[in-house]
Structure 1
Amino acid sequence: MTVLITAGELAEEMASAHPPLVLDVRWALTQPDGRAEFEAGHVPGAVYVDLETELSTHGEPTAGRHPLPSRERLEKAARAWGLNDGMRVVVMDGGPSFGASRAWWLLRHAGVDVRILDGGFPAWAELALPIEQGSAMPLAGHATLSWGHMPVITADEAGAYQGLLLDARAGERYRGEVEPMDPVAGHIPGAVNAPTTENSELDGRFKPAAALTARFAELTTDPGAIAVYCGSGVTAAHQIAAMEIAGITDVALYPGSWSAWSNMGRPVATGETP
């Protein structure tokens, strides 16, 4: 299944008889509510999606900062976006595709045909394509979502993982030098650091497939047993998307990630070594 779509390809599909549903997930750790940016300018017909309330649920600290929503909760949100059965979806954000990748992973998990707009809204604007402002209430859809199409692992499974466990956070957080978000600094023992930011070009687009293939080939010779975590399960989805672009499929996500692990009193490693 294709992971990415370019702005030019999206424009062509939007002009077709059966355009995709475009979901705009403007989100950042420093600005989780991106509605103002969305209303200032977005792809015509796009629907704003709130990562914090629609692509996540909330629970105890041991569940992490962005626990996965239930199938029922996501289905309710998807219908409010206007999603119908059989409809193709394109997800996007303000450029780096972190929020978009969360939406991509979740919708893939729910059995939806979904692609990421490579480069996000800046890539669309760069081509001087039409831009819409404000927001509108879409007609309610009737999609019925399935579940479980993307592999996940639990904290227990992450702690005993026999394959390659990747930590997608910045190196200084992996090493335990700083921890701006969670109660304990460090990483899950045995995890290898592979920062998500190294998947992208400076303009926020994903690196070419050949470059990503070379990157991940340096980390493992067994692409059949890989799991990924990050701070709270959001940017790890970007890592999974990048690996799929590189031809590596069935990569598992630890949804709770470090935000859950660090609240459980589990073992912690620091420094450069796994």
Structure 2
Amino acid sequence: MGHRLYNTIIYATELQSLLGQESLVVVDCRHDLMDANFGTKAYQEGHIAGAVFANLDQDLSGSKAGADGQFRGRHPLPNQDDLIQNLRRWGIHNDTQVIVYDAHGGMFAARLWWLLRSIGHANVAVLDGGLGAWTAAGFAIDTAIPTPAQGSISVRAALTRQVDVQQVLANLSSPASQRLQVVDARAADRFRGENETIDPVGGHIPGAVNRFFKDNLQADGRFKSATELRAEWSQKFTEPSQAIMQCGSGITACHNLLALEIAGLSGAALYPGSWSEWCADPTRPVATSNSDA
């Protein structure tokens, strides 16, 4: 590409200078959890020139039921073969610089950032500030729908870690000195079990601490500095490899993982099923006390 490679975030001015490069793919990940058609409509009304569209429900999530028939959460990870097929459809190769964006501070774009890293693709970054930062910088949007040539991306060694519900459950009975720290990315009211509209079963995993994903951002919707993020996250745990990120359904937990990567605190795991999977089984313990925060 002839430019530096980006693997956490990229600024609007930097992305603008890269547009038109052959080894660049931009992916629009806009979505609304309350309106499944929002992203598609917003994309059709205008997007960064050349960007393809990724639908959270159809492209970045898999079947809600596992092979055993058990509920895996509201947004389980997609089947790896299906993910590869979509990435290739968007024109992505092993050497492609991928830039992902949304209009919600990166909460949806971070999901694709994590998914690409899960198959070993390091050169993927989130547009800092999203489409809002792009237009605020005076850059144009386009309505033309691209038809990229087929890509050839393949699976390589994962750059991520993940745990399943059984591992999270077993962690609760581990000796205190060996117990992994669960960090919940949901808003505080959901963490405390006070938002029945979103979480019919309220509360959190016992022992979890709360770090709302929006706390990673400045008032303008861009990420805080690496120094500030490192200082704030270091209050939650001492060793990233001993931490598990979760949220409502494995989406905003990826935002926390991106913030950790920006801060230089790599190694935390994702619990993809998150609260929606956890609370589906009434035999699993639930906490609501503020002391768990």
**Counterpart residue number, 2:254:** 237
How far is the alpha carbon of 1:102 from its aligned partner?
0.3
How far is the alpha carbon of 1:223 from its aligned partner?
3.1
**Which deviates more, 225-234 or 140-149?**
140-149
- Where do 4+ consecutive residues of structure 1 move more than 4 Å? none
Please state if 1:149 is matched with 2:159.
Answer: yes
**Which deviates more, 129-138 or 196-205?**
129-138
Q: Kindly provide the amino acid, as one letter, of the partner of residue 211 in structure 1.
A: E
**Counterpart residue number, 1:171:** 188
For 1:1-274, list aligned pairs within 5 A.
2-16=7-21, 18-33=22-37, 34-60=39-65, 62-112=71-121, 113-146=123-156, 148-161=158-171, 162-265=179-282, 266-274=284-292
Q: Kindly provide the amino acid, as one letter, of the partner of residue 105 in structure 1.
A: W
SS at match of 2:26: strand
**Which deviates more, 253-262 or 88-97?**
88-97
CA distance in 2, matches of 1:109, 1:272: 33
How far is the alpha carbon of 1:59 from its aligned partner?
2.2
The answer to whether the 8 A contact 1:95-1:123 is kept is no
CA distance in 2, matches of 1:35, 1:229: 27
Identity %: 39
Unaligned stretches of 5+ residues in structure 1: none
How far is the alpha carbon of 1:152 from its aligned partner?
0.3
How far is the alpha carbon of 1:62 from its aligned partner?
2.3
How many residues are treated as equivalent by the alignment?
Answer: 273
Q: Kindly provide the amino acid, as one letter, of the partner of residue 76 in structure 1.
A: Q
How far is the alpha carbon of 1:145 from its aligned partner?
2.7
- Compared CA separation, residues 147 and 54, structure 1 to 2 (3 A): farther
SS at match of 1:51: coil
How far is the alpha carbon of 1:49 from its aligned partner?
0.7
User: Aligned-pair RMSD on alpha carbons?
Assistant: 1.6
Q: Kindly provide the amino acid, as one letter, of the partner of residue 146 in structure 1.
A: R
Q: Kindly provide the amino acid, as one letter, of the partner of residue 108 in structure 1.
A: R
How far is the alpha carbon of 1:120 from its aligned partner?
0.8
- Could you report, residue by residue, the CA deviation over 1:73-101 in whole angstroms, capped at 9, with x for unpaired residues? 10011111111231110111114111100
**Which deviates more, 262-271 or 126-135?**
126-135
SS at match of 2:206: coil
- Compared CA separation, residues 250 and 157, structure 1 to 2 (3 A): same
- TM-score if structure 2 supplies the norm length? 0.88
Q: Kindly provide the amino acid, as one letter, of the partner of residue 27 in structure 1.
A: H
SS at match of 1:224: helix
**Which deviates more, 138-147 or 113-122?**
138-147
**Which deviates more, 24-33 or 242-251?**
24-33
The answer to whether the 8 A contact 2:162-2:269 is kept is yes
Unaligned stretches of 5+ residues in structure 2: 1-5, 172-178
**Counterpart residue number, 2:3:** none
**Which deviates more, 157-166 or 3-12?**
157-166
The answer to whether the 8 A contact 1:96-1:119 is kept is yes
CA distance in 2, matches of 1:43, 1:147: 31
Q: Kindly provide the amino acid, as one letter, of the partner of residue 25 in structure 2.
A: L
The answer to whether the 8 A contact 2:62-2:76 is kept is yes
How far is the alpha carbon of 1:64 from its aligned partner?
0.1
How far is the alpha carbon of 1:147 from its aligned partner?
5.8
- Could you report, residue by residue, the CA deviation over 1:132-171 in whole angstroms, capped at 9, with x for unpaired residues? 1142332222222336431001112222331211011111
